[in-house]
Structure 1
């Protein structure tokens, strides 16, 4: 069984036009069966490989937690997996959205094992995952971009020719790289924290899946 955990996102009080959207999704893979230990292997280099390793470890940790709490199911008890009550963690993004998460569920427990500090990881991951939407929101400061956006919004549904003629996509392609570079520079500390905690999670995940404790010298948060 696969269970997807979606972090709650509160929209800003005013409707924002355009396509700058916040895509903040945290996914936890859960199976009811026990996972066999894997032999030690070199750490993955690609970002996809690192993500796969971390998610595999999350799967093991969440499964252990659910079984320990008598909530493995099937189906697993959602309140034990994701947490209950008011969300303890929240962050308001520059785009106007607020993202919230719990700290009492099995998914949160797995994140604390892997990243060391769930709150710091939550803030860093949500911020880094939304740098592009933040940059696109800032594009509205450009008069030419606002005009192109207005032309695009005036197009009828599914009128692709009208959308192309608005020039919005071409202008976005031209302006976005510089805006994104400025946004990344403004969030340099968040990017550093994200990389550091993710490196820690890769080490912890590799140790867990190899059936041995993390090696000495593993970076700590």
Structure 2
């Protein structure tokens, strides 16, 4: 993972640079009509700019914050919400236990985690307050599933997002809504009688293979129980064997096909119901891109000067 440390340019200076360079208006973000979805590269640019702004803000408050490259999803990060249905993937990854151990090691190696862990308790508390605010209040939003989420409107994370997106409460709300559409889609799939019927076929296949589980969730729980407190090599072998059986039954019955069909249909339905919020989030992001480009360019220029 490539890492660079935060520059010494202050948060106030960066924010001033954004203001002088021109900021998108809230009104423009609320215009009606479809909005262009940012590309993967543009999304990474926004994430990096936010990290740089956080780093500058933390430095201004007397703390260190490393600017790290956003993690990129790969083959190992695949999700199977309705049961593993890829035999080759299951044979290589099981249920992802080994991949999660690798990810946990990477998180422990994160320079910010190491920095916070090395601080004294009072200093660590002060650093967390600087980063996230004194308490998670000030921002509130309700997910499509009805859960209310709150976050702090103070601290460097909030300041960085405010500098990029302008309307912090509005940005927080649409981000919460759009990032929580997936649970709604998946719940509708599982409630569909066609999926329940397909799971019945899958369960019969599993019983015939000596794995008497009613649902893929039961199979996953059995894997967790069977691999608890055992050496990693043994845990991986046990997990892979069960995941391969699960995937074989998913592809050998209608479960894989029905899951994909229903997921696509309900995904379109859920997105249509929340299209206004999806478009508003994209407009926030599109309006923030010029600011993000300036932040990253200044950071890159200063990093180049510091290594000259």
User: What is the DSSP-based 3-state SS (H/G/I as helix, E as strand, rest coil) of the residue aligned with 1:90?
Assistant: strand
Instruction: List aligned pairs for 1:17-28, cutoff 5 A.
Output: none
Counterpart of 2:261 in structure 1 is 174
User: Which structure's residues are more often helix, by fraction?
Assistant: 2
Give the CA deviation at 1:84.
2.2
Counterpart among 177, 186, 199 of residue 127 in structure 1: 177
Check whether the contact 1:31–1:59 (CA below 8 A) recurs between aligned residues.
no
1:1-221 superposed matches below 5 A: 31-34=5-8, 47-72=39-64, 75=115, 77-95=127-145, 97-149=147-199, 150-155=214-219, 156-157=222-223, 158=239, 159=242, 160-162=244-246, 164-165=248-249, 167-211=254-298
Taking structure 2 as the reference length, the TM-score comes to: 0.49
TM-score between both structures, scaled by the size of structure 1: 0.66
- Cα deviation, 1:67-90, whole Å, max 9, x if unaligned, reads 222333784612211222233323
Q: Structure 2 CA distance, aligned partners of 1:68 and 1:46?
A: 31
Query: How many angstroms apart in 1 are the aligned matches of 2:144 and 2:138?
Result: 20
Counterpart contact for 1:93–1:127, Cα < 8 Å: yes
C-alpha distance in 2 between matches for 1:86 and 1:46: 29
Partner of 1:200: helix, strand, or coil? helix
C-alpha displacement of 1:97 = 4.2
Q: 1:197 to 1:154 in 2, by over 3 A?
A: closer
SS at match of 2:145: coil
Structure 1 stretches of 5 or more lacking a match?
3-28, 38-44, 212-221
- The alignment covers a number of residue pairs equal to 176
Q: Which residue pairs with 2:209 in the alignment?
A: none
Task: Call closer, same or farther: CA 1:30–1:51 in 2, change over 3 Å.
Answer: farther
Measured after TM superposition, the shift of residue 32 of structure 1 is 4.1
Rounded to whole Å, the distance in 2 between the matches of 1:82 and 1:93 is 21
Between the aligned partners of 1:164 and 1:130, the Cα distance in structure 2 is 30
How big is the shift at 1:164?
4.1
Q: CA deviation at 1:102?
A: 1.5
CA distance in 2, matches of 1:84, 1:148: 49
Tell me, what secondary structure is at the counterpart of 2:5? Answer: coil
1:63 deviation in Å?
2.1
Please tell me whether Structure 1 or Structure 2 has the larger radius of gyration of its CA atoms. 2
**Pairwise CA RMSD:** 3.0
Superposition deviation, residue 34 in structure 1: 3.6
